[in-house]
Structure 1
């Protein structure tokens, strides 16, 4: 699970996150940074969070350094950058921070420091130009638009339903068997690459790797057949919709963005004909769109930063409940006007025309004056219905709050968690560490067969849900801790003396913090680790650090991959969950039934 509220659907930006707020230039040049056109920087306002206003440029970096080298260097100075982007053959970088204090601290500490023979130069950097304004300016200076290619003309001529399907569900017209084959091939490539990387970082494993690669198509471990999603359509239980001008010209439209902001497009298409959105969510969107069109408030315009209605998040459950979260920028409206709007919204969906829309939990989220990139920090007010919704999974009951993480495909999540439980090889003496536990789904699903479960999660709301969920299911052998995994996990590990200890980690897309990996490596009594990766490429560094040879930085015997499997939680897209079982080198085990896994032999 994730330490963020959710993993958005393809083509959907994160909840409440301005697309430019954390993105550094992909093709930035010094000339662009020095642009003097004020219209290119209209988004730099005090009431919008963007790390671009806390940005520095570091010059004279050592040659041949990479992103991780610079990140580790800054971490040694106790600096926590928000984003890093290297340029000029890695000789200078733009680095943004979350606040002015961190930025100024970086300038004071790093400027004049010597690193690998180079004296670093740090200065303030101008923010990145607004992508859509830059595009407008370029189009204005280039004269008449260039002739479209045949492919572009063909795309423009396609119905909007096809265009949006190509954006949010790019495999919608590919047979499901072929989708699974493509995803499995992606996982094969990941495991082949991991085999090479492990060999480069742990020479002692080379004889073992040579044997593994010979048996398993150059992979580091056996890969079991991909497990399909029980349902291939209408499977998403959470979707985040933008509110903008419709691509069909209709104002106040709730849907998915047809293009990317940096590509110059803000238009959206409704989800009515998309295959992955549930019928219940489509009904909520339809009713909410009708409501906002009855109001006098305009949609939020990301070009001018004016307007109000910004986003609608919809969560649905198999138990027939639906949560709607309306993101609204108050601009200069007073509290009386906002109260009147919330009252009318409540009336519309509880007594008025929208009462049959299926909404059982209605929230109003105030989007202005953001001081944090985290959407859960936004004021979130219940205006109608129950405060939470409830779902059933593997015969268990779960409460879900607005910002709590819950896998977006409930049926496939049951397949995933069943696999995790099988691979963890648990018994009544086992202690399970559930890292990035969200609402506690994995730990709770395993609790009845083990001695103890300890969950760790960043989101306070999710932790509260997890505690309630444990009680709902009559469990007393489970506890939850709120905090950053890199802070909490080492403390918990150091105090555990359990002989049969297993960790299950299901982190956000970026993977686990390096401090968590180092703590896992140090805890030699932790012999088995089940890693669930929603983005295997992003988690690659985690896998490598778990398996690399011991060093001054990495203490404890390494792990090595024993078996792997993909579970399809995202039909019609190329996304897939990868499950890898890793075991400590020298740990001797034979999984029950020997279902595809090889017996671990003492270390190489």
Structure 2
């Protein structure tokens, strides 16, 4: 369900960077404390240089203010081990940073309640012979301000002389068009056949690793696994040839562009970030010479850049939290419709000024210089003071044009709203969904559960073959689109539920009475919540599962948990993988979509079912 490489979204600093964490002070194991004194201590630590931690004082969302340090972890554990351990205790972190070769980790949460719950539950727990300890952790320093401070200190040390420029032939010596291509489409200069080979090898590695994990978590499958690995190059199931994208360039129907200072010195530039925030860079380069962005989207960016340069409002600065223009999201369709969504921080502007800006935008794109931009749906979003990491929580104000755009896929029509998920490569998505329909082995008695359904594309594309389609999606806009899409395509056997999959799916599944149920899941990068996996395992009338993964490595826990041996906690017969395939939805990048078909083990016909309590290292 990934969108592939895009510009960084207009979120907090914590979301915009992936830098290494710094170790907090105190070598002694701390005592649990979440009172005011402990919070004051954390703020005192941050106050060692307040300018580097200014962002936590702003009234913006950042999980850095809900960060804890877990100490005394067992040696040799990995990220997935810690993630499984926290999930086992119903702890839902926003972000985990496990320092390599260290026995401590930093974990952030979305709010104070979740952080405090985690501190109370984890502190004092025993894990592999180690008694865990938890304390509040200081936030990390703003990387841009930290880099600037280091440069100032270097200048002072050299008598006011700036540090020498790099002359080692690195990316700074390359043309900007090459630098931005390397940043957003790193395989742009690799022949397409070689790109496909590399991606297929990535999937081979995933399936080989899954075979190993299954062998350690379900001993009863070892004889079957041994035979599979012998036949399929140490993989747990056969891997079909990768399906190439019908088009390798200009394929993206959605791009998220940052608005910032241009790397070429031009102000108010719309494009992709040249470097990472952690590297101290906010400069962007326009998409004119990028190979994955469509001509229609490039035209919208060019016209919108012209417009914002006529306004008196500056670009938003993530280091000072001043300025206004933040991001432009552009969505296009095969029928040449285009949606533009402008993200703007009003700061302390009066409502009259914001309304005047919207009027100016409307005039520019309906009767002014931008009337030929191709925009058919223009939205304005006030970034304001966000309290949530989810962009879907921000209301979109329609400035001009239609409220939605429409796309054709597999002969069907789909309505798309600003926040709704729709695969970014329409042609390749048709290949993907066709394979899903083939693998699902459906008939007129089948019920399809479409989990993380977005605008309903998968379920609706299969609806005429089955008795019923039930979709689940947490984005309310997408659910409304899915309902409309069912009507647009003359379907009366599809229903859609709004909510988190882990909250909705168990109840929906228990209510389904059907001789043939197939689940199709297309979750975000991190995979399905463990509660969804538990519900799937318990529902033994669900015999077939088609898993669509945009990040198979991140979904590995899901795959393993679906296949592990039954236990008192993980009830129901396990699944096993029987078929896999890669589909290239993201040419010029290393991202690839993986399709995995899993079928329930029938204990009535398989003697090697093991004991119900055999479960080594369950993560659920």
TM-score (norm 2): 0.90
Would the aligned equivalents of 1:547 and 1:559 in 2 still touch at CA under 8 Å? yes
CA shift in 2, pair 1:289/1:22, >3 Å: closer
Provide the secondary structure at the position in 2 that maps to 1:42: helix
Counterpart-to-counterpart distance in 2, 1:85 and 1:128: 12
Gap change, CA 1:172 and 1:384, over 3 Å in 2 = same
CA contact (8 A) 1:565 1:580 kept: yes
Q: Deviations over 1:34-71 (max 9, x none)?
A: 45111111212443110111222333445555545555
Counterpart check, 1:139 vs 2:133: no
- Alignment correspondent of 2:406: 390
1:198 corresponds to 2:191: no
Flag the 1:346–1:474 CA change in 2: closer, same or farther, 3 A. Answer: same
Q: CA deviation at 1:348?
A: 0.5
Q: Which segments of 5 or more consecutive residues in structure 1 lack a partner in the other structure? A: 2-6, 589-599
Partners of 2:474 and 2:351 in 1: CA distance: 32
In the other structure, the counterpart of 1:28 is 22
Q: Distance in 2 between matches of 1:563 and 1:113?
A: 40
Deviations 1:571-599 (A, max 9, x none): 111111000111111289xxxxxxxxxxx
- Structure 2 residue matching 1:20: 3-state secondary structure: helix
Partners of 2:165 and 2:385 lie apart in 1 by: 43
Q: Quick one: which of 532, 537, 541 aligns to 2:557?
A: 541
Q: Could you say which residue in structure 2 is the equivalent of 1:59? A: 71
Deviation at 1:413, TM superposition (A): 0.4
Query: Is residue 98 of structure 1 aligned with residue 98 of structure 2?
Result: no
Question: 2:366: which partner in 1?
Answer: 350
Q: Which residue of 1 aligns with 2:464?
A: 448
Equivalent of residue 129 in structure 1, options 133, 141, 144: 141
> What's the offset of the Cα at 1:22?
7.6
Report if aligned partners of 2:249, 2:293 keep a CA contact under 8 Å in 1: yes
Answer yes or no: is the 8 Å Cα contact 2:3–2:423 preserved in 1.
no
Deviations 1:546-577 (A, max 9, x none): 11111122111111111111111011111110
Q: Which residue in the other structure is 1:499 paired with?
A: 515
Q: How does 1:515-594 map to 2 (within 5 A)?
A: 515-586=531-602
Distance 1:172 1:23 in 2: 24
**Paired residue secondary structure (2:536):** helix
| CA–CA distance in structure 1, aligned partners of residues 260 and 288 of structure 2 | 16
- In structure 2, relative to structure 1, the CA distance for the partners of 1:114 and 1:509 (3 Å cut) is closer
2-structure distance, mates of 1:371, 1:439: 26
Question: Which of 289, 305, 310 is the matching residue for 1:294?
Answer: 310
Give deviations 1:138-191, integer Å, cap 9, x for gaps: 333345536736341xx2222111111111111111111111111111111111
Q: 1:326 to 1:57 in 2, by over 3 A?
A: same
C-alpha offsets along residues 284-333 of structure 1, whole Å, 9 cap, x if unaligned? 00000000000000001112111100100000001111000000111111
Query: Which of 159-168 and 64-73 deviates more?
Result: 64-73
2:323 matches 1:307: yes
The secondary structure found in structure 2 opposite 1:314 is strand
SS of 1:444's partner is helix
Counterpart CA distance in 1 for 2:202 and 2:86 is: 33
Alpha-carbon distance in 2 for matches of 1:274, 1:340: 34
Contact residue 6 and residue 257 of structure 2 kept, 8 A:
no
Equivalent position of 2:50 in the other structure: 38
Would you say 1:212 and 2:218 are equivalent positions?
no
Identify the residue that residue 591 of structure 1 maps to in structure 2: none
Closer, same or farther in 2 for the Cα pair 1:314/1:364, shift >3 Å?
Answer: same
Residue range with higher mean Cα deviation, 31-40 or 47-56: 31-40
| Corresponding residue for residue 38 of structure 2 | none
Question: CA, structure 1 residues 511+78, in 2 after alignment: closer, same or farther (shift >3 Å)?
Answer: closer
Q: Is the 8 A contact 1:47 1:368 kept in 2?
A: no
- Find the aligned partners of 2:228 and 2:282 in 1 and give their Cα distance: 49
Query: C-alpha distance in 1, partners of 2:123/2:225?
Result: 44
Instruction: Judge conservation of contact 1:439–1:462 (CA < 8 Å) in 2.
Output: yes
| Secondary structure of the structure 2 residue equivalent to 1:204 | helix
Residue aligned with 2:442, SS: coil
Residues 181-240 of structure 1: CA deviation (Å, up to 9, x unaligned): 111111111111111111111111111111111111111111111111111111000000
Asked if 1:12 corresponds to 2:7, the answer is yes
Structural mapping, 1:271-286, within 5 Å: 271-286=287-302
Q: What is the CA–CA distance in structure 2 between the aligned matches of 1:352 and 1:571, rounded to whole Å?
A: 36
Change (3 A) 1:24 1:250: closer
1:363 aligned onto 2:379: yes
Equivalent position SS for 1:572: coil
**Structure 1 194/107 Cα, relative in aligned 2: closer, same or farther at 3 Å?**
closer
Distance 1:463 1:429 in 2: 25
2: CA distance between counterparts of 1:415 and 1:73? Answer: 37
CA spacing shift, 1:108–1:193, aligned 2, 3 Å: closer
**Residues 149 and 537 from structure 1, CA distance in 2 versus in 1: closer, same or farther, beyond 3 angstroms?**
farther
Aligned length, in residue pairs: 585
Unaligned runs of 5+ in 2: 27-41, 156-161, 610-620
SS in 1 for 2:331: strand
C-alpha distance in structure 2 between counterparts of 1:119 and 1:284, whole Å? 57
